Amino acid sequence: MKDLVILGAGTAGTIMAQRLRRELPAATWRITVVDRDDQHIYQPGLLLLPFGVYRASDLVRPRRLTLPLGVDVRLAAVDHLDTERRRVHFADGSQLAWDILVIATGSRTVPEDTPGLTGAGWRRSIFDFYTLDGAEALGAALESFAGGRIVVHFADVPIKCPVAPLEMTFLIDAFLTRRGLRNKSEIVYATPLDGAFTKPRASAMLGGLLTQKQIRVESNFAVSEVDGERRAMHCYDGRTLDYDLLVTVPLHAGSEVIMRSGLGDDAGFVPTHKHTLQTKHHEHIFALGDATDVPTSKAGSVAHFQSEVLTANILRHIAGRPLLPDFDGHANCFIETGFDRALLIDFNYDTEPLPGRFPLPGVGPFTLLEESRANHIGKLGFKWLYWNVLLAGRELPIDHRMSMAGKWSAA
């Protein structure tokens, strides 16, 4: 009996467990999924929780209910990985052997790495929304907000769902408008980038929306320190942003297990071949999702597209065949823009988001780089798709390779 171990039971790990259990014979391959707890959170829903669209109970399910029959589930804290002997070492002293390891440990926020961020004001005038507790606390703060300056900020890239800070900014604008508080409030979007987004065409489109909504942009804002008592955020270039309410996306890092095991880069992300998803230093270890250092978005759609390529490559690895360089960096995501409207972007390593119709050329029903109510409905409908199709590793009517069909090329 051979052992395939999947480290992490979030989006990426769950999809891989589903796909590999269907492909590998149970008589010869034991699959074990390892995670520290039994709480699977629908992370895209955290953005909408502060606005009452969801409750916390809508976003959480036991991991055991999302994983397939026929896999072993080990809920325990991991101490480190021994890559030479191919062993998972648990905090309780026990071990688990692997023949193949799939790293799907995701990423985590590290607010403590920004001086002052978790000091005075944390969860009182400073809030994150990438955690369940943070999103709930932000919702309560917004309910009691009576006007003033709200700063929405992210510390640096990479972050999970790179458009989420923009979405939060747009949703706060709509929230304050509907409550009659927009003319009593200033909204500032503080970004370490030189524009609204990393891709030029999308950045111009999203920057135009910020201007249209009279949201001030502070670009190239690299936070050096937060003074929670004075409600001031400082930039390395000497700028200071005062706030009444700070909504922040903290720095991100890879798993502490990966860092302790010497498998990650300086931030704890696993060096991974961006087309095959085999790790760069260990031929029997593969990685996908937010855990990797590949230069694409850390988003659920990416994990799904990667899973198709990685499943095929693990089967080829077992058979002793060359791996296929088939992952092209494909990512897509809905971007809430407020007032029950959203836009959609679809891109990969080489092609930036372009306007058009998606997924059916000329038909849609979704519009690319254009606001529509259909896109907003698609964003809300994705929750059902996530629990029932995506996590089950079922096929979607979207190829893992990005298609130019239905897109209007930049001229």
Residues 86-125: pLDDT tens digits?
A: 999 999 999 999 999 999 999 999 999 999 999 999 999 9
| Domains in the chain, CATH or no CATH each | 2-109+253-318 (3.50.50.60), 111-251 (3.50.50.60), 332-390 (no CATH)
Report how far residue 153's alpha carbon sits from residue 193's, in angstroms, rounded to the nearest whole number.
11
Residues 301-354: pLDDT tens digits?
A: 999 999 999 999 999 999 999 999 999 999 999 999 999 999 999 999 999 999
Q: 100, 24 in Cβ contact below 8 A?
A: no
* pLDDT at position 148 over 80: yes
Q: What is the DSSP letter of 406?
A: T
Residues 24-83: pLDDT tens digits?
A: 999 999 999 999 999 999 999 999 999 999 999 999 999 999 999 999 999 999 999 999
Q: Which residue matches tokens 């008592």?
A: 229
> What per-residue confidence (pLDDT) applies to 250?
98
Helix (H, G, I), strand (E, B) or coil at 237: coil
Q: 291, 105 in Cβ contact below 8 A?
A: yes
Q: Which residue matches tokens 């249209």?
A: 212
Instruction: Please report which residue ranges of 58-163 form alpha helices under DSSP H.
Output: 63-66, 132-144
Instruction: Please report which residue ranges of 88-242 form alpha helices under DSSP H.
Output: 132-144, 164-178, 200-212
Angle at 317 between CA 314 and CA 318, to 5 degrees: 90
Q: 291, 12 in Cβ contact below 8 A?
A: yes
Mean pLDDT of the chain: 95
Q: How many residues does the chain have?
A: 411
- Bridge partners of 147, per DSSP, are none
Report how far residue 106's alpha carbon sits from residue 255's, in angstroms, rounded to the nearest whole number.
7
Name residue 162's amino acid: P
When pLDDT is cut at 50, 70 and 90, the band that residue 202 belongs to is confident
Report how far residue 145's alpha carbon sits from residue 113's, in angstroms, rounded to the nearest whole number.
28
* pLDDT at position 269 over 60: yes
* pLDDT at position 144 over 70: yes
Helix (H, G, I), strand (E, B) or coil at 386: helix
Q: 8, 104 in Cβ contact below 8 A?
A: yes
Residues 217-243: pLDDT tens digits?
A: 999 999 999 999 999 999 999 999 999
Beta strand 223-227 with 232-235 is antiparallel
Q: What is the DSSP letter of 58?
A: G
* pLDDT at position 410 over 60: no
Report how far residue 35's alpha carbon sits from residue 8's, in angstroms, rounded to the nearest whole number.
5
* pLDDT at position 191 over 90: yes
> What per-residue confidence (pLDDT) applies to 196?
79
* pLDDT at position 198 over 90: no
Sign of the torsion formed by the C-alpha atoms of 133, 138, 139 and 144: positive
All residues at 6 or more sequence positions from 134 whose CB lies less than 8 Å from its CB, including other chains: 46, 123, 127, 128
When pLDDT is cut at 50, 70 and 90, the band that residue 277 belongs to is very high
Dihedral Cα 121, 123, 126, 132, nearest 10 deg: 160
Buried b vs exposed e over 282-317: b needs ≥16 C-beta within 10 Å?
A: beebbbbbbbbbbebbbbbbbbbbbbbbbbbbbeeb
The alpha carbon of 28 is separated from its chain's Cα centroid by a whole number of angstroms, namely 34
> What per-residue confidence (pLDDT) applies to 205?
87
